[in-house]
């Protein structure tokens, strides 16, 4: 007992969130003489860049998930805790979970963002977003139910609405979703139906800015548009969605307002910070931006709280460029690694120069053979870009969990054009599709709607 008291207790690092930022911080702290606790609501890390492949039936959730405990099992200084942080107390240096408190010496907050409907939360019912495994399975359910319902529908107008897919938002997720659904409709499912021609499906990608993939170079936006059009996607830029209701999307291009009846509307447009942003602001006086992200110092800490760090999508880091760093996995990884290194230096009473993001480039996949790559010094697209995309993603997946199975699954899907993960599952899947008052995703209030089935 006396020894226990005399022995200096190790520096306690609490990490909230097991996404790219939190997990890379934890991994980097594995060899540092600190005591790490990683808290996440889920028991797995999700490789979010491939979530659209779950939503479109190529991969299973487990293919892109790694159990946090397994990833960190060799880090003997690290505990994983499944739980949710509901408050923090910077004076007492503790975080509050639902049934316990946890003290920290350094705190890393990496709870990311969720999708945002820009104040129109009522749209979420009609246009699900893509952030969690459950989101992806719900998208998958809706996409495949749409084809099943179209097959049963005899009214041509209603059938057209079942075969219309609107994707709102032309960033990487929107582009990848549109490309994957186009392949599904125009290739994979072609021979599987008897009453409908899946090639009649209409896939509409809407983007508010004047081009797809706004953060990329202009020439790649053009390439992406061309590739999608070749796949059969209708790309509409400078188009703002003004309403989503009752399976009707209302949009505005310039002064022209149009409506389209669509049973499947997918949201890939906006994000806002997770609740931890507001909690941090309230408890530490940290500034948050319009999207709720926490504005951080050059070393990713919060002003006046040098031992509280924010990394990943939740952080607004604006010290490198005029605008904040983008909310992508490489930024989160490097931020997590930086904070881990900084904590290590501080233990030796040293410090580090400010964080500096090294941009290795951007990637987006468009279809079976097409992608766009922007490495800064070189930009390319097409099959070579697709191969690059495959290997970069496999490389990072393998780092976690040796997910060679994904590579094999892709190889198999590539050659056969099959999709194994086309299951319609979940509570609602048990309802028969295309029956009055049976589906949960058309509004039962307006039965005069042309697309009500």
Q: Which residues are catalytic?
A: 176
Pick the piece of the chain touching its own copies (CB under 8 A) from 162-170, 203-211, 265-273, 434-442: 434-442
Task: Select from 41, 103, 238, 360 the one that contacts its own copies (CB under 8 A).
Answer: 41
Pick the piece of the chain touching its own copies (CB under 8 A) from 91-99, 223-231, 243-251, 298-306: 91-99
Closer by beta carbon to its own copies, 209 or else 404: 404
Task: Select from 31, 92, 100, 356 the one that contacts its own copies (CB under 8 A).
Answer: 100
256 binds its own copies (CB under 8 A): no
Task: Select from 369, 429, 443, 449 the one that contacts its own copies (CB under 8 A).
Answer: 429
Token pair for 11: 């520096």
For the CB of residue 133, give the shortest distance to its own copies in the complex, in Å: 5
Q: How many residues in the chain? A: 453
Token pair for 57: 């039936």
**CB atoms < 10 A from the CB of 46, how many?**
21
81 binds its own copies (CB under 8 A): yes
Closer by beta carbon to its own copies, 293 or else 419: 419
- The beta strand positions in 262-352, using DSSP E, are 264-267, 271-273, 294-295, 301-302, 305-310, 315-316
**CB atoms < 10 A from the CB of 69, how many?**
14
Q: Which residues on adjacent β-strands are paired with residue 308? A: 107
**Site pattern 262..301 for its own copies (x: CB under 8 A):** ----------------------------------------
**CB atoms < 10 A from the CB of 152, how many?**
15
Q: How far apart are CA 377 and CA 188, in angstroms?
A: 36
- DSSP notation for 195-257: SS-GGG-EEEEE-SSSSSSTTS-HHHHHHHHHHHHHHTEEEE-SEEEEEEETTEEEEEETTEE
For the CB of residue 246, give the shortest distance to its own copies in the complex, in Å: 21
Closer by beta carbon to its own copies, 128 or else 324: 128
Task: Select from 56, 65, 337, 362 the one that contacts its own copies (CB under 8 A).
Answer: 65
Task: Select from 10, 12, 30, 69 the one that contacts its own copies (CB under 8 A).
Answer: 69
- Is residue 71 within 8 A of residue 45, CB to CB? The reply is yes
Task: Select from 298, 376, 420, 444 the one that contacts its own copies (CB under 8 A).
Answer: 420
155 binds its own copies (CB under 8 A): no
Q: How far apart are CA 302 and CA 285, in angstroms?
A: 9
427 binds its own copies (CB under 8 A): yes
Q: Please, what is the angle between helix 383-401 and helix 404-416, to 10°?
A: 150
Closer by beta carbon to its own copies, 193 or else 383: 193
- Sign of the Cα pseudo-torsion (290, 296, 300, 301, in order): negative
Closer by beta carbon to its own copies, 10 or else 67: 67
120 binds its own copies (CB under 8 A): no
Report the DSSP pairing between strands 34-40 and 78-82. parallel
Closer by beta carbon to its own copies, 185 or else 228: 185
For the CB of residue 397, give the shortest distance to its own copies in the complex, in Å: 11
- Is residue 295 within 8 A of residue 287, CB to CB? The reply is yes
Q: How far apart are CA 453 and CA 450, in angstroms?
A: 8
Give the SS3 label for residue 65. Answer: strand
Cα 293 to Cα 96, 267, 342, 419, distances in angstroms: 21, 20, 22, 37
44 binds its own copies (CB under 8 A): yes
Of 383, 381, 406, 382, whose CA–CA distance to 393 is shortest? 406
Closer by beta carbon to its own copies, 164 or else 188: 188
Q: Which residues between 379 and 418 bind its own copies (CB under 8 A)? A: 401-405, 408-409, 412, 416, 418
26 binds its own copies (CB under 8 A): no
Q: Which residues between 175 and 234 bind its own copies (CB under 8 A)? A: 189, 191-195
- DSSP notation for 239-252: EEEEEEETTEEEEE
For the CB of residue 64, give the shortest distance to its own copies in the complex, in Å: 10
CA 384 to the chain's CA centroid: 25
Closer by beta carbon to its own copies, 20 or else 309: 20
Backbone angles phi, psi at 252, to 5 degrees: -130, 120
For the CB of residue 61, give the shortest distance to its own copies in the complex, in Å: 6
Task: Select from 10, 124, 148, 250 the one that contacts its own copies (CB under 8 A).
Answer: 148
18 binds its own copies (CB under 8 A): no
> Which residues here bind its own copies, judged by CB under 8 A?
41-44, 60-63, 65-67, 69-70, 73-74, 79-84, 97-100, 133-134, 144, 148, 151-152, 189, 191-195, 401-405, 408-409, 412, 416, 418-427, 429-430, 432-436, 438
């Amino acid at each position: 007992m006396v020894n226990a008291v005399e022995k200096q207790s190790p520096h306690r690092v609490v990490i909230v969130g097991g996404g790219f930022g939190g997990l890379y911080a934890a991994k980097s702290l594995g060899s540092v003489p600190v005591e790490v606790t990683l808290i996440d609501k889920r028991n797995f890390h999700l490789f979010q860049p491939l979530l659209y492949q779950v939503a479109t039936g190529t991969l299973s959730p487990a293919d892109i998930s790694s159990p946090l405990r397994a990833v960190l099992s060799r880090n003997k200084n690290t505990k994983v805790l499944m739980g949710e942080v509901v408050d923090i107390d910077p004076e007492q240096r503790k975080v509050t979970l639902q049934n316990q408190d946890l003290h920290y010496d350094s705190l890393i907050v990496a709870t990311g963002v969720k999708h945002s409907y820009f104040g129109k939360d009522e749209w979420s019912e009609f246009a699900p977003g893509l952030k969690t495994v459950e989101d992806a399975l719900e998208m998958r359910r809706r996409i495949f139910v749409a084809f099943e319902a179209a097959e049963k529908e005899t009214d041509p107008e209603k059938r057209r609405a079942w075969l219309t897919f609107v994707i709102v938002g032309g960033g990487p997720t929107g582009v990848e979703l549109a490309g994957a659904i186009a392949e599904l409709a125009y290739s994979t499912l072609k021979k599987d139906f008897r009453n409908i021609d899946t090639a009649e499906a209409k896939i509409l990608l809407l983007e508010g800015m004047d081009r797809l993939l706004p953060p990329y170079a202009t020439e790649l936006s053009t390439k992406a548009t061309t590739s999608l059009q070749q796949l059969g996607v209708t790309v509409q830029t400078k188009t703002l969605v003004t309403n989503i209701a009752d399976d009707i999307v209302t949009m505005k291009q310039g002064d022209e307002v149009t409506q389209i009846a669509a049973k499947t509307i997918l949201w890939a447009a906006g994000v806002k910070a997770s609740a931890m942003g507001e909690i941090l602001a309230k408890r530490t006086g940290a500034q948050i931006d319009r999207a709720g992200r926490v504005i951080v110092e050059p070393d990713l800490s919060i002003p006046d709280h040098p031992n509280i760090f924010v990394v990943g999508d939740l952080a607004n880091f604006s010290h490198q460029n005029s605008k904040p760093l983008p909310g992508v996995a490489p930024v989160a990884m490097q931020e997590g690694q930086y904070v881990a290194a900084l904590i290590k230096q501080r233990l030796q009473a040293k410090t580090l120069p400010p964080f500096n993001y090294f941009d290795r480039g951007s990637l987006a996949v468009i279809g079976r053979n097409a992608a766009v790559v922007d490495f800064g010094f070189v930009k390319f697209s097409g099959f070579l870009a697709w191969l690059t995309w495959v290997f970069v993603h496999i490389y990072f997946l393998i780092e976690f969990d040796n997910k060679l199975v994904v590579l094999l699954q892709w190889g198999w899907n590539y050659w056969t054009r099959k999709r194994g993960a086309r299951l319609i599952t979940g509570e609602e899947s048990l309802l028969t599709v295309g029956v009055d008052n049976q589906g949960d995703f058309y509004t039962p209030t307006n039965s005069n709607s042309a697309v009500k089935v």
